[in-house]
Amino acid sequence: QVHLVESGGGSVQAGGSLRLSCLASGFTTSRNCVGWFRQAPGKEREGVAAIYTDGDSTYYADSVKGRFTISQDNVKNTVYLQMISLKPDDTATYYCAADHPKGGRCPSWSGLGEGYDNWGQGTQVTVSS
């Protein structure tokens, strides 16, 4: 019922930029919860950023704060992750996850994102030195 497709990944040099997109179908991003997560080889998945409901509530991991920006386009029903000043440590597969608010609150964006029921297939980001 809910389908998420990530795009925009690629290979860049350190200091470069990418914009990831998460296109949602069967789901209205402006009324729900969307998080970006990433997983590097051999490491656990970690929350990167989240945007909740009307877009006024955004959250970022300390490791990306000031470099990544999450936003949404309600017309396109798409959530973006603008990534600048990329570092090799940002190399990972990036996933978007979405869910409806539950009990008036969104699932926790930090950590594994285990509270999110809908996930995309991921897009690879590789940052070289």
pLDDT digits (tens, 9 = 90+) for 5-38: 999 999 999 999 999 999 999 877 777 899 999 9
CA separation (Å) from 126 to 39, 57, 92, 93, 122?
Answer: 12, 28, 7, 8, 13
Phi-psi region of 53 (alpha: psi -120 to 50; beta: other; left: phi over 0): left
Its sign, for the CA torsion 40, 123, 73, 67, is: positive
Neighbours of 76 (CB within 10 A): 12
**How confident is the model at residue 1, as a pLDDT?**
82
Would you call 30 helix, strand, or coil by DSSP? helix
pLDDT at 31: 77
Quick one: pLDDT at residue 55?
Answer: 61
* φ/ψ (deg, to 5) at 31: -110, 10
| Token pair belonging to 17 | 């930029």
Given a cut of 70, the residues of the chain with pLDDT beneath it are 54-55
Residue 27: its pLDDT value, please? 79
Instruction: Give the pLDDT of residue 54.
Output: 63
